[in-house]
Amino acid sequence: MKKLLVIRFSALGDIAMTVPVVHDLAILYPELEITVLSREMARPLFEIMPKNVHFFGADLKGQHKGLLGLCRLWRDAHLNNFDYIADFHDVLRTWWLRTEGCLRRKKVAKIDKGRKGKKALTRQKNKVFVQQATSFERYAKVLEQLGFPIKPQFTKLDYSAFCKTQKADNETWIGIAPFAKHPAKVYPLKKMELVIKTLSERENTTVFLFGGGEVEKQQIAELCAKYPYVKVVQSQHGLASELGLMDQLDVMLSMDSANMHLASLVGTSVVSIWGGTHPYAGFLGWNQKEENCIQLNIPCRPCSVYGNKPCFRGDYACLSGITPEQVINKLSPYLS
């Protein structure tokens, strides 16, 4: 049996976007043994995959840190046993791993990140508004270079068994993930509170708030204390439990963040808010609709691919200009 290694580190959202591609690969090539090399936090994303998919968690901040750590990772993950290496990340550490693979005569391919097109999309003047290839398409291209072309057929993963509570037929469950890593991707919390207040006042409706950071937990706790039908999602129950809850939601309201991608993996419709970033950069969730993206058409958007650049205007008008009414109206079709 041939063995293929998929490498993708980085943030949880980026890793989540590999799931549909790896799943389709496993279904189309059942004789191929596939191992995903990623951060340990992502393990639950691959635990209910087809049987020919395996996972190895790298400790990039501990025993697998630095050059000596990469040498240890090569040994610990038995990377010399693989016939193919698919680099879905293309950063310095993955360059070292695939170079080591080349020296050992493995067949290797790496992702084309499309930097030129993304730069033209996000520059301040003379932007070129062209839809860039999605991450899903770029990952699939890597596999095609290795001789494993795939067709998109992934629908969802079923995590419902991991949810500790079940929704009644007459209930509406709404998930809201109001946070993101960078300010250029976060809807103002005061306006989001108005959205939360309005939704929580609907009959037979429960709002679940998702967030993991310490500051986020404090802000969520304050919102839950104000509104009785707003609940915090307890992250200590694990990622699989969160996915199980997302599986039962009527809709998820998210920023351009990991929760958009996680909800997409369980087939939940997502209404997403976009500020400094844009779906044209190729990071919209799997099978999500662009018409469900809330965004303003202002000349400076998008200003970055990942939202990691400060607003050169200083006011984040791309986010502050979105009204709570716009958000609620976009959610309305899913709340009947």
The pTM score is 0.94
Residue 235 has pLDDT above 70, yes or no: no
The pLDDT of residue 112:
97
The pLDDT of residue 213:
75
Burial 186-217 (b: 16+ CB within 10 A, else e): bbbeebbbebbeebbeeeebbbbbbbeeeebe
Q: In the chain, which residues fall in CATH 3.40.50.2000?
A: 3-145, 169-330
Mean predicted confidence (pLDDT) in 51-62:
97
Mean predicted confidence (pLDDT) in 12-22:
97
Helix/strand/coil (H/E/C) assignment for every residue in the chain: CCEEEEECCCCHHHHHCCHHHHHHHHHHCCCCEEEEEEEHHHHHHHCCCCCCEEEEEECCCCCCCHHHHHHHHHHHCCHHHCCEEEECCCCHHHHHHHHHHHHCCCEEEECCCCHHHHHHHHCCCCCCCCCCCCHHHHHHHHHHHCCCCCCCCCCCCCCHHHCCCCCCCCCEEEEEECCCCCHHHCCCHHHHHHHHHHHHCCCCEEEEECCCCHHHHHHHHHHHHHCCCEEECCHHHCHHHHHHHHHHCCEEEEECCHHHHHHHHCCCCEEEECCCCCHHHCCCCCCCCHHHEECCCCCCCCCCCCCCCCCCCCCCHHHHCCCHHHHHHHHHHHCC
The answer to whether 241 and 235 have CB atoms below 8 angstroms apart is: no
Mean predicted confidence (pLDDT) in 233-260:
90
Mean predicted confidence (pLDDT) in 17-31:
98
pLDDT band at 130 (very low <50, low <70, confident <90, very high): very high
The pLDDT of residue 103:
95
Tell me which of 88-97, 139-148, 199-208, 229-238 is least confident: 229-238
Torsion angle, alpha carbons of 114, 120, 121, 125, to 10 = 170
In whole angstroms, give the CA distance from residue 186 to residue 205: 24
Mean predicted confidence (pLDDT) in 233-241:
77
The pLDDT of residue 236:
54
The pLDDT of residue 217:
83
Burial of 221 (0-12, 13-18, 19+ CB in 10 A): exposed
Give the residue among 24, 9, 2, 164 at the shortest CA–CA distance from 81.
Answer: 2
What radius of gyration do the chain's Cα atoms show? 21
Mean predicted confidence (pLDDT) in 128-149:
97
The pLDDT of residue 214:
77
At 81, list the tokens: 């046993």
In whole angstroms, give the CA distance from residue 24 to residue 281: 23
Mean predicted confidence (pLDDT) in 149-153:
95
For 267, other C-beta atoms within 10 Å of its C-beta total 15
Residue 237 has pLDDT above 70, yes or no: no
pLDDT band at 216 (very low <50, low <70, confident <90, very high): confident
In whole angstroms, give the CA distance from residue 179 to residue 139: 27
Residue 212 has pLDDT above 80, yes or no: no
According to CATH, what is the number of the domain 3-145? 3.40.50.2000
Tokens 């959610």, residue located? 331
According to CATH, what is the number of the domain 169-330? 3.40.50.2000
Burial of 40 (0-12, 13-18, 19+ CB in 10 A): exposed
Residue 107 has pLDDT above 60, yes or no: yes
Question: What value does the mean pLDDT of the chain take?
Answer: 94
**pLDDT tens per residue across span 162-203:** 888 888 889 999 999 999 999 999 999 999 999 999 999 999
Residue 28 has pLDDT above 70, yes or no: yes
**Percent of the chain predicted with pLDDT > 90:** 88
At position 12, the amino acid (one-letter code) is L
For 287, other C-beta atoms within 10 Å of its C-beta total 16
The pLDDT of residue 329:
96
